[in-house]
Structure 1
Amino acid sequence: MARITHGIACSHIPALGVASDFDKWEDPYWKPIQEGFAPTQKWEAENLPDVVILVYNDHASAFDMKIIPTFAIGCGESYKPADEGWGPRAVPDVEGHPDLAWHIAQSLILDEFDMTIINEMDVDHGLTVPLSMVFGKPAKWPVKVIPLAVNVVTYPPPSGNRCWALGEAIARAVESFPEDLNVQVWGTGGMSHQLQGPRAGLINAEWDQMFLDKLSGDTQELRHIPHIEYLRETGSEGIEMVMWLIMRGALGKETRELRRFYHVPASNTAVGHIVLEPVNGEVPPSTTVEGNNAAAQSLID
């Protein structure tokens, strides 16, 4: 069966894509970030998954105020880089894994998560920048990617608790997929930053480090942080960190930190990055009205 082996969290600051695309990593401003991710690039090459479930948020590229899904899963064959106003990034198209994506979508919906299913969309820096930070500049991305978009742009975003629970449901879905696949779950966005208003440029390194600390071990404190705390302590865009909790929820009861990187500044934001592995794969059983996802699945098999 398929299995989730690791989780990765990574900021998706668009300027990191610019630094990668235009070979600016030797510039003094960007070099510390390149050096911070270099060990992860080496580690990932040695622990390459078959599929990455990449949790990100769209920045008015695939969605706008006409359509705002809370959770959306890409089930298509491939996804092109989006034109965000200055042309698409010169990075490879993203190759999907429709069989696993459709299986996850079905499992999540039977597990009572109301997913939006997307077969065609372009993906913006929220998804492509983390790929660049972990894989560099390959001619083709070395893994298949299932995009999972979360609304953290327009109020109300989902709660951290709901995101964590979604991660648990993703773990159940992956474990029930019969093909032997190595799967990683990535949470992207953050860390503390605000892009507008009197607090533009806000960085709260102490809070960020607390958040990184509590991604490891068996504590579930992070899932109960209210929206107002993210906004107060980490700025208006710090709410993106709820997407990291989908990754954390998917790793089970307890996790171990393999490496961490944190750097300020990068385009007036904090760069955060962590690699986690599950200590055990235990995730809570489904709490659907059917009793569990397997029971619901049997109704349509």
Structure 2
Amino acid sequence: MARITAGVATSHVPAIGAALDNGRADEPYWRPVFAGYEASKRWIAEHKPDVIILVYNDHASAFSLELIPTFAIGCAEEFQPADEGWGPRPVPPVKGHPELAWHMAERLILDEFDMTIVNKMDVDHGLTVPLSLMFGQPAEWPCRVIPLAVNVVQYPPPTGNRCYRLGQAIRRAVEAFPEDLKVVVFGTGGMSHQLQGPRAGLINSAFDRDFLDRLVGDPVAQSKVPHLDYVREAGSEGIELVMWLIMRGALDEQVREVHRFYHVPASNTAVGHLILENAG
């Protein structure tokens, strides 16, 4: 059967992609950010996943205020990089895994999660920046990717508890797929940041570090944290962190922390990163 072996959590700051694409990764400002992912690139090259389920939020590239799915799963053969206003990123198209994606959609819907099935969409920096951080700049991505987009842009977003339970349901769905596949789940977005208003530029490092600890050691307690706490402590865009709970819910209760990285600043936010392996 297919099995989830590990989880990756990472910020998906758009400026990181721009720095990489424009040859600025070795500049003094950006060098510490990319250095934090060198061990991660070695890890994933050795781990060799067959499929990545990548949880992210769309930034008005595939969806708009006209259509706002809470959870949307990409079931297509291929997803093109989105044009976010300055041209598509110069990265390879994302190759999907329709068989597993459709299987997941069926299982999750029958498990009472209302998934939106998407057969055509472009994917923006929320998905491509994490791939670049983990794989660098290959001619093609070395594994298949199933996009799973979560609404954390327009109120109301899903609760942390709903996200954690979705992760658990994803694990059940993957383990019911008959093909022998090694699957890694990415949870992306965050950490603390706010893009507008009087608190624009907010970074709460104490909250971020505590969140990393709780995500590893007590995810159930973290799943019960209400929306208002994220907004108050981590800024209006800090709510993106609930997507990390989907990744965590897909893993064992006890996990092994392989790598942790935290850095301030990167553009107007903090960068957080975890690699967790199932203990079994």
> What TM-score, normalized by structure 1, do the two folds share?
0.92
- Structure 1 partner of 2:267: 267
- Structure 2 partner of 1:286: none
- Structure 1 partner of 2:109: 109
- Structure 2 partner of 1:292: none
- Structure 1 partner of 2:256: 256
Deviation at 1:17, TM superposition (A): 0.3
- Structure 2 partner of 1:189: 189
Cα distance in 2 for residues equivalent to 1:115 and 1:101: 11
Cα distance in 2 for residues equivalent to 1:17 and 1:248: 25
Deviation digits for residues 212-234 of structure 1, max 9, x if unmatched?
01122355111001000000000
Contact 1:55/1:149, CA 8 A, preserved across alignment: yes
Cα distance in 2 for residues equivalent to 1:159 and 1:215: 15
Structure 1 gaps of 5+ residues are 281-301
Deviation at 1:25, TM superposition (A): 1.2
Contact 1:218/1:254, CA 8 A, preserved across alignment: no
Q: Within 5 Å, which residues of 2 pair with 1:1-301?
A: 1-217=1-217, 219-280=219-280
Cα distance in 1 for residues equivalent to 2:100 and 2:20: 30
Contact 1:81/1:91, CA 8 A, preserved across alignment: yes
Contact 2:219/2:248, CA 8 A, preserved across alignment: no
> What TM-score, normalized by structure 2, do the two folds share?
0.99
Cα distance in 2 for residues equivalent to 1:103 and 1:208: 35
Deviation at 1:101, TM superposition (A): 0.2
Aligned residues: 280
Deviation digits for residues 73-110 of structure 1, max 9, x if unmatched?
00000000000000000000000000000000000000
Between stretches 14-23 and 217-226, larger displacement belongs to: 217-226
SS of the aligned residue for 2:183 comes to: strand
Contact 2:204/2:234, CA 8 A, preserved across alignment: yes
Deviation at 1:139, TM superposition (A): 0.1
Contact 1:163/1:243, CA 8 A, preserved across alignment: yes
Cα distance in 1 for residues equivalent to 2:218 and 2:264: 28
Cα distance in 2 for residues equivalent to 1:25 and 1:64: 31
Deviation digits for residues 243-297 of structure 1, max 9, x if unmatched?
00000000032212111000000001000000001224xxxxxxxxxxxxxxxxx
Percent identity among equivalent residues? 68
Deviation digits for residues 100-139 of structure 1, max 9, x if unmatched?
0000000000000000000000000000000000000000
Contact 1:74/1:148, CA 8 A, preserved across alignment: yes
SS of the aligned residue for 2:279 comes to: strand
Cα distance in 2 for residues equivalent to 1:227 and 1:180: 38
Please tell me whether Structure 1 or Structure 2 has the larger radius of gyration of its CA atoms: 1
User: Pairwise CA RMSD of aligned residues?
Assistant: 0.7
